[in-house]
Structure 1
Amino acid sequence: MKVTAPSPAITGQRHITIVSETFPPEVNGVANTLRYLCEELVRRGHYVSVVRPGQKQEDSAGFEATPDLCHQTLRVTGLPIPGYSDLRFGLSVPGRLTRLWRKNRPDAVYVATQGPLGVSAVSAARRLGIPVSSGFHTNFHSYSQYYGAGWLEALLCRYGQWFHNRTAVTLVPTRKTMAATQSMGINPVALWSRGVDCNLFSPAKRSQALRESWGLNPGDTAILYVGRLAAEKNLQLAVSCFERLKSLHPTARFVLVGDGPMRQRLAERHPDYLFTGIQRGEQLAEHYASGDLFLFPSKTDTFGNVVTEAMASGLAVVAFDDAAAREHIRHGDNGMKASLEDSEAFVSHALRLIDQPTFTRRIRTQARLDALDLDWATQVERFENLVINQPAEARHHVRHKQVTTV
């Protein structure tokens, strides 16, 4: 389908192309981040094009106009990711991207994922001398231990080093991830954090009707988890934590928002848990705001957007001292966090929150106040400076980088 959006050459806009194996309406941290990035870039006057695999229910590849997020989308053929059948990876199309970008040349390319599509995008951009940057959004190398393939971790680290070092700069969401990627031999890296939509995620969205549908009476506690129901999210700790809470507070309910390979097994073992499935937009915001205490047991996330969404919604968050919690939670002030090695402290923090309602109310209020400072506009301005506004330097750097062979 021919796109009728004006070309950046006519309007004077900068043209930024986002390449990703996952994109809205898919629900995950990468897709969520790219949604806000694209929306804000368009708002700031840029011409945004997206290259992504075809998703479920999309029966063909090709061009389409997506005015809500970007000016143009190129869908390529996608295949299911092993172990993540609801997500797809895009096939390598370097020749197609080279032809497309010769005809409609971007000022900069940002590659968010490391799959075959991302590799072909980096190759095409380098061939044409287009500044290309990458994002370190997911700790895929650390996932291998959760799927019986821990022996792959070293190889995946070497692959990540090779992939990212073919780009001018790799953007990372936290200072800890910056140190970790540098230790993997990835350089240069730059900090690009995440914002949160405090208009969407707000305590004002709390719904008594929804809480009643969960079987809660006034004064009962809703323990919330939002995210993928998968092994790498350390869900067994969340289950153990809730069982401890329930032994002392029998009316508490565990509400799990999301989907994934562990859902069926969890539902069979714990028929009293509430599984809402994937929620989006206003419905997701209502679910957040209708909870009381938020458990985030993951030790593998590079950021964890759900942490800041929960804070914006006025929830008391329990997490490990890692990723978004390390950056934004001050223990005992706007949330609770435990060291990565101390699962017992994680449980103890949740018990303290449910046992001390006055303390919890203070934390929830402060969490919302701190989230108000985490706006997306500031983060996208930084993205502009790192990816879009320095094309000459980026082009020179990527041509002269030493690239390690896999």
Structure 2
Amino acid sequence: MRVAVVSESFLPTVSGVTTSVCKVLDYLARAGHDAMVIAPAGAPSSYAGFAVHTVPAIAYRQFPVGLPSLTVQRLLSDFRPDVLHAASPFLLGAQGIAAANRLDVPSVAIFQTDVAGYASRNHLGQATAWAWRYVKWVHDGADLNLVPSSASMTDLQRVGVRRLARWTRGVDLVGYHPNRKSDPAVAALRARVAPHGEVIVGYVGRIAPEKQVERFRALRGVPGIRLVLVGEGPSEPLVRKALEGMPVTWLGRLSGDELATAYASFDIFVHAGTEETFGQTIQEAHAAGLPVVAPASGGPIDLVDHGENGYLFTPDNERDLKRCVLRLVDDPALRRRMGEAGRRGVLGRSWENVCDTLFGYYEQAIDARAAVRMMTAVPLSLQR
């Protein structure tokens, strides 16, 4: 199969969109398929043996945003894909879907970024309604729209987006594993950040407004804990100010073995943002055998079974966030039990399994487009 991937985010930018696109490309390469990528400027010229083509971009909150370009349709026409994969389509992805339709190429759009949610959080009023109309317009152009969570499904159904299906995300079950807790590197990190045996409350992700990391201030004054934050982003000055005087270690952006070591050093994982369409770092924490505290909002609702593998706190209620964390801080046996439950819950979500499902959706979109072609080719008198 020939797959054209149009992604709003790609390397060197680190994001959930980038990670999932790279995992899909790795899968296609292993399976012997052909692919190409269209991404914002700054991306490498190739990945997994596939060509990466770039379009002009502007910077927005440290992210390159790809701009519509006349080269998109030419690239798709030259490549002649069997299907277009639009990753978190916005400006560039919308053009990719439109070009695919003009070329009669079926498209699968992956809903990953809650643009309308960002507009709402920033109190943009009418812009929120406009954002949802734009999301609907973009996704209505695709043959199939894949959403990561029940909350996203509800949101898109509410605004009238059609042709919806669920597609979750995979997780590295080998790199993130409870057994890593016995690694010397993990012991060294714990000795450095929690020299007196403090309970480590960790976070992994961008330090950005939608992640609401400043809510960790709710844990001010909790005895015997150490906060460890992994990531970087535009909200770092604000978060540093909000957490000033608290026992915090900033590890910056990590990847690979260093990131796996950080997860393994945590005792509890906390995610405070209420706008996650999925929550990939929650899955990674579960794979590492950690209990998770997250808001009862968006993607975490599907990932955290309240009282079994973690706790869901009332959104925007920092007092409830603190209560949930305190239960785990005070009960090591509960942490272990919930961590084991979290690990069991993700065992079927390897990237290989998840990408097998995605490939099935590609075939579904191709078949649906072929059926439409067949119907339009049959004279009306024979359709009756």
The TM-score with structure 1 as length reference comes to 0.85
State the match for 1:163 in structure 2. Answer: 138
Q: In the alignment, what sits opposite 2:230?
A: 257
Name the SS of the counterpart of 2:47 in structure 1: coil
Equivalences, count? 369
- Residue 165 of structure 2 aligns to a residue in which SS? strand
Residue 216 of structure 1: CA displacement?
2.9
Stretches of structure 2 that go unaligned for 5 or more consecutive residues are: 376-384
Is 1:291 aligned to 2:256, yes or no? no
* RMSD, aligned α-carbons: 2.2
Alignment of 1:156-195 (within 5 A): 156-195=131-170
For 1:182-331, list aligned pairs within 5 A. Answer: 182-206=157-181, 207-218=186-197, 220-240=198-218, 242-243=219-220, 247-249=221-223, 251-269=224-242, 270-271=244-245, 272-331=247-306
* Secondary structure at 1:133 match in 2: strand
Where structure 1 has 5 or more consecutive residues not aligned to the other structure, the ranges are 1-13, 401-406
Q: Distance in 2 between matches of 1:339 and 1:284?
A: 29
Residue 24 of structure 2 aligns with which residue?
A: 37
In structure 1, distance between residues paired with 2:340 and 2:132: 40
Partner AA of 2:234 in structure 1: P
Question: Equivalent of 1:71, from 27, 40, 50?
Answer: 50
1:324 and 1:311 map into 2 onto residues whose CA distance is: 14
CA distance in 1, matches of 2:298, 2:369: 28
Change (3 A) 1:230 1:98: closer
CA positional deviation for 1:230? 1.8
- Give TM-score scaled by structure 2 length: 0.90
What displacement does 1:88 show? 0.7
Any idea what the Cα deviations from partners look like across 1:26-71, whole Å, max 9, x if unmatched? 211111221222212222222121110123xx6xxxx83323xx51
Aligned to 1:4: none
| 2:337 alignment partner, one of 348, 362, 379 | 362
Highest RCO, 1 vs 2 (Cα 8 Å, sep ≥ 6): 1
Which AA in structure 2 matches 1:76? V
Could you tell me which amino acid in structure 2 is paired with residue 64 of structure 1?
S
- Match of 2:23, SS state, is helix
Match of 1:89 among 65, 80, 91: 65
Cα separation, 2, equivalents of 1:80 and 1:32 = 20
Q: In the alignment, does 2:137 pair up with 1:124? A: no
- Supply the distance in 1 between the matched residues of 2:222 and 2:367 (Cα, whole angstroms): 62
Which of 32, 35, 39 is the aligned partner of 1:48? 35
Task: Name the CA shift for 1:51/1:395 in 2 (closer, same or farther; >3 Å).
Answer: farther
Do the aligned residues in 2 keep the contact of 1:238 with 1:296 (CA within 8 Å)?
A: no
Between 333-342 and 390-399, the greater mean CA deviation after superposition = 390-399
SS of the residue 1:302 aligns to: coil
Return the alpha-carbon distance in structure 1 between the equivalents of residues 249 and 296 of structure 2.
27
Residues 150 and 299, structure 2, Cα contact 8 Å, conserved in 1: no
Contact 1:225–1:294 (Cα < 8 Å) also in 2: yes
Give, in angstroms, the shift of residue 329 of structure 1.
2.2
For 1:266 and 1:321, locate their aligned partners in 2 and report how far apart those are by CA, in whole Å.
Answer: 22
Q: Distance in 1 between matches of 2:55 and 2:371?
A: 30
Report the Cα distance in structure 2 between the residues aligned to 1:31 and 1:399, rounded to whole angstroms. 36
Once the two structures are TM-superposed, the CA of residue 176 in structure 1 deviates from its matched residue by: 2.3
Specify the SS of the correspondent of 1:88.
strand
Amino acid at match of 1:202: H
Provide the rounded CA distance (Å) in 2 between the counterparts of 1:322 and 1:399: 43
- Counterpart of 2:54, as a letter, is R
What is the rounded CA distance, in whole Å, between the counterparts of 2:354 and 2:259 in structure 1?
Answer: 23
Q: Please list the CA deviations of residues 115-166 of structure 1 after superposition, one character each: whole Å capped at 9, or x if unmatched.
A: 3211221121111101112111011111123335243110000011111101
